[in-house]
Amino acid sequence: MNTYKVIKIEGTLIYLGKDDGTLLKVEQTSFNFVPQLGDIVEAYKSEETYIIAKKSSEVPTEKKEKGPLTIKNIKVMAWLGIVLTLLRDPLFFAIPVMMGHLLKEKGEKDSGNFMLGVSIFAGITALITRFILTGRFS
């Protein structure tokens, strides 16, 4: 993998280090951004030229979302689905499952996975509770 960390800046010369101890010296003109100490970057080489890009897993600048399917609205709908699952009917677990998938599509992988886990837990809990309250065990 071509992932490095900016470990030293000396004028226009940038030193990049890898976990295995590999050191790469690159001119600042190879960067498509202003490098800072500690930045995680990806290095690509074309002949004798390097192209350095900030790693995509870095937190991107927040952009305004428009429309009804903002991340905040999706999370609200997912939690509403959890409440409906626990208080009303176990079939409502489909709402937070769908919202979890939407969160993952919008780049909120951790939130999406969390929501999927919570919805499965809520669905199982609602089913168990429903069988206990109705006395239908067989």
Position 49 scores a pLDDT of: 84
Position 63 scores a pLDDT of: 54
pTM higher than 0.85: no
Position 132 scores a pLDDT of: 83
Position 45 scores a pLDDT of: 85
**At a CB cut-off of 8 Å and minimum separation 6, what does 21 contact?**
none
Between CA 93 and CA 86 the distance in angstroms is 9
Between CA 71 and CA 77 the distance in angstroms is 10
User: Which segments in the chain show pLDDT lower than 50?
Assistant: 57-61, 138
